[in-house]
Structure 1
């Protein structure tokens, strides 16, 4: 049809509309030209619900969901009926919003993880009625010399009384070597000791006692007995070993054989491996630590009560 009069009506030319009725409900839907196609795609994508799901079953973290709907652009209809897209700063703003939400989500998630970890660290696990919590005993190692007066005092006045009260929470090991030195020639070991060869002999008897007698309480009893009067190591050894119903012949055989020398060499290796090195005899380690030597030598029982992490023992109250 041309633009001439038809039945007396004049039709003037019209522009092609910039907006068309293309919605499902017949509403006005603007048509954006090609140069805005990227923005249009971004709008369609982001207008959907954004869900950030941080579910982590292995860590038992409750999911955090951020739900939002964001309109990327605003339609502005000009006076002549055309439609345009608002300022393209909106896409950048959208990116910033999304990144902020992700950051908040991470902070929430890992904050919960940290708080749960702290709570777990300080939570006591309840045990069934028929089970009892087990705490490891304290390991006490005594680095001493058989003829050293300070070693004698410690064994008789500190170690024996403390063990009598706290034996249920203690493991004791004796290392009779001190400030001795070891020499090896033709596969055989000889020793020099701080208080002479008599002390080397006494150290050897003590070392064989710890090797032959396996019962810890009897070990302490025999060593307590021997160190009281050690001027005749073999005689004192026999008397004390038999006093506690142990076999002296096995101890004597150890002392007189290469086995005894090998044990003494091992005692020396243990002593020389201490860090810091031995500077005073006796040196006592508790669970491998040399800390607080002064108080250990003065009041071993009090230090052991303080160091033990299990239930307080009756003598410690």
Structure 2
């Protein structure tokens, strides 16, 4: 028992040390927040086929990206969390939260999350542990985070952050640029970023994008239905046969 306490204290102390806010010299960076849940195909598709592109086209250089893996989960009065697509989604939400904290470098935790969400797209999400080997990242810190209960604390933090959204989120992925939700126009997030950027040297990828953002809320958000429910009609994603 004493050994486990030592491990937990060490983990928490190093986490606080390495996750302290880093002050950027570029005050013009655009705040991009993604509120999502791990087993939602809409979320997985956005991460794999849209968000990942900004790491290749240099738009990431003008962005402060915040990933919040909680989505449509619900916090019960007794402190337990239930997830839209069942216990496995709660597991992966927490694992991804631990990844974000364990590897504060964005490029490291994003490549792990990308790997997991790519497996979700392929309906092979139960193979998520293969992402440690795939990315070359050590699983120890994530395991300690998860089994120590610290991952649950992170999810409670994300629950509060998600529930505090104004306006409240209505579905996932919920993409927010400089505090403004994009509603159903989230796939055009790059245009919104480029429009919002006030720095002197926008990435080349912004050429042709500025001015294209609709800058209007899409009224049809109320009819947005999770693709999981459309495909499977149940509370848990089924693995591909």
Q: TM-score, normalised by structure 2?
A: 0.68
Query: Which of structures 1 and 2 has the larger relative contact order (alpha carbons within 8 angstroms, sep 6+)?
Result: 2
| Alignment partner, residue 54 of structure 2 | 162
**1:163–1:170 CA contact under 8 A, matched in 2:** no
Deviation by residue 1:166-213 (Cα, 9 ceiling, x = unmatched): 12111111111111112354xxx4210111111111111111111101
Task: Kindly indicate whether residue 196 of structure 2 is the aligned counterpart of residue 307 of structure 1.
Answer: yes
User: Cα RMSD between the aligned structures?
Assistant: 2.0
Deviation by residue 1:253-311 (Cα, 9 ceiling, x = unmatched): 21122111111111100000001111011101112221x3333x222222211121113
How many pairs were matched up?
179
Deviation at 1:312, TM superposition (A): 2.8
Deviation at 1:316, TM superposition (A): 1.4
- Cα distance in 2 for residues equivalent to 1:212 and 1:184: 29
| Alignment partner, residue 39 of structure 2 | 147
Task: Kindly indicate whether residue 177 of structure 2 is the aligned counterpart of residue 286 of structure 1.
Answer: yes
SS across alignment from 1:151 = helix
Deviation at 1:245, TM superposition (A): 2.7
Deviation by residue 1:133-180 (Cα, 9 ceiling, x = unmatched): 954211211100100011011111111112322121111111111111
| Alignment partner, residue 277 of structure 1 | 168
- Cα distance in 2 for residues equivalent to 1:134 and 1:228: 31
- Cα distance in 1 for residues equivalent to 2:127 and 2:90: 15
SS across alignment from 2:99 = helix
Deviation by residue 1:207-231 (Cα, 9 ceiling, x = unmatched): 1111101111122111111012246
Distance 1:294 1:259, change over 3 A: same
| Alignment partner, residue 190 of structure 1 | 80
| Alignment partner, residue 230 of structure 2 | none
Residue 241 (structure 1) aligned to one of 114, 132, 139: 132
- Cα distance in 1 for residues equivalent to 2:26 and 2:93: 36
- Cα distance in 2 for residues equivalent to 1:309 and 1:241: 38
Highest CA radius of gyration, 1 or 2?
1
| Alignment partner, residue 266 of structure 1 | 157
- Cα distance in 2 for residues equivalent to 1:243 and 1:228: 12
- Cα distance in 1 for residues equivalent to 2:124 and 2:94: 12
Residue 141 (structure 2) aligned to one of 233, 242, 250: 250
Distance 1:134 1:170, change over 3 A: closer
Q: TM-score, normalised by structure 1?
A: 0.53
| Alignment partner, residue 228 of structure 1 | 118
- Cα distance in 2 for residues equivalent to 1:286 and 1:302: 10
SS across alignment from 1:146 = coil
Q: Which has the higher helix share?
A: 2
Structure 1 segments of 4+ aligned residues over 3 angstroms from their partners? 230-235
| Alignment partner, residue 76 of structure 1 | none
